[in-house]
Amino acid sequence: MNSNHKAEERFLKESIRVLIVEDEEKLLTYLKGLLNEEEFSTFSCSSFFELETLIEIPMSRFDIIILDRLLQGKDSGTLLSKIKYCFSDAKILILSAINTPSEKALLLDSGADDYLAKPFDGEELVARVRALLRRNYHSIKLGDVSLNSISRTMTISQNEISLTNKEFDLLKTLIQAPGKIFNKTLLNSQVWEVSSDVDSNVVEATITKLRRKLVDAGSSVSIKNIRNRGYWIEE
């Protein structure tokens, strides 16, 4: 592996954020150890209540969410749609002691991206996480716009356009869910990782710059908004 490839791999690992939702302390510690060995940044919550709170007040972004199906006797699967809405960038891996085709189908249809039955092998879990990350970090495209997650640049009609980190993160968030309306609170939490009570025009300023870059490049893709509702992207 040459130095450029090593640098790319290091960049990806350092930027990967994994949320582990697990109420068994020993298993949580084990999972954090596995993923820390991969040089990923790990975060955790250990109860249904903590997960609900995290969804209600999203203060961060995650690339992977490892979700235990039962948290202190409560079904975390009932929160899948909310999790997908609040953390639209994240891929969700379900861990469950129930291993039936109907169980898997239900959770995958509800928004999970993968399913792993307990007990599981640590190497298999890490391999599945890597596979989910490959889905996240391939080029992301909408119309004539392509985002490169390594160089964090935008390409339109073969012309590469530089973006600031926040411009890239904001555009990626919108492009991964075309047509979905993101209000200012949600964009603050996912892109800038700040609470909804922060009084700032940073979202509007960044949107304005992105719109100008799309227009100047002659892109068919545009960012729309409805006053007091939010922003979305469409071709």
Residues 119 and 171 in one domain: no
Count of domains forming the chain: 2
pLDDT at residue 4 greater than cutoff 50: no
Q: Which of 121, 137, 153 is the last residue of a domain?
A: 137
Say yes or no: 161 and 52 in one domain.
no
Q: Name, in order, each residue with C-beta under 8 angstroms of 193's C-beta and a sequence gap of 6 or more.
A: 59, 60, 61
Same domain, 11 and 123: yes
Residues 121 and 152 in one domain: no
Other C-beta atoms closer than 10 Å to the C-beta of 21 total 26
User: Whose CA is closest to 187, among 151, 135, 149, 225?
Assistant: 225
pLDDT grade for 11, boundaries at 50, 70 and 90: very low
Say what the pLDDT of residue 5 is. 45
Are 79 and 44 found together in one domain? yes
CA distance 165 to 32: 27
What is the pLDDT of the chain when averaged over all its residues? 85
Beta strands, E only, 109-172 = 114-117, 140-142, 145-148, 153-156, 159-162
Of the CA atoms within 13 Å of residue 164, those in its CB half-sphere come to 10
Pairing of strands 17-21, 64-68: parallel
**Residue numbers of the domain that contains 216:** 140-234
pTM of the full structure: 0.61
More confident residue, 76 or 153: 76
Is the pLDDT score of 136 beyond 90? no
Q: Are residues 129 and 146 in the same domain?
A: no
Average pLDDT over residues 77-81: 92
- On whether both 170 and 101 belong to a single domain, the answer is no
Cα separation of 220 and 229, whole Å?
23
Instruction: Provide the CATH number for the domain around residue 61.
Output: 3.40.50.2300
**Which of 13-17, 58-62, 186-190 shows the highest mean pLDDT?**
186-190
Reported confidence tier of residue 146, pLDDT bands at 50, 70, 90: confident
Domain end, chosen from 94, 115, 137, is at 137
Task: Give the domain-ending residue among 102, 137, 172.
Answer: 137
CB-based burial of residue 90 (10 Å sphere; 0-12 exposed, 13-18 middle, 19+ buried)?
buried
Amino acid at 87: F
Task: Report the CATH number at residue 223.
Answer: 1.10.10.10
Q: Please check whether residues 173 and 84 belong to one and the same domain.
A: no
Residues composing the chain: 235
Domain co-membership, 64 together with 151: no
Mean pLDDT of 15-40: 92
Q: Are residues 10 and 106 in the same domain?
A: yes
Query: Do 70 and 118 fall within a single domain?
Result: yes
Same domain? For 188 and 104 the reply is no
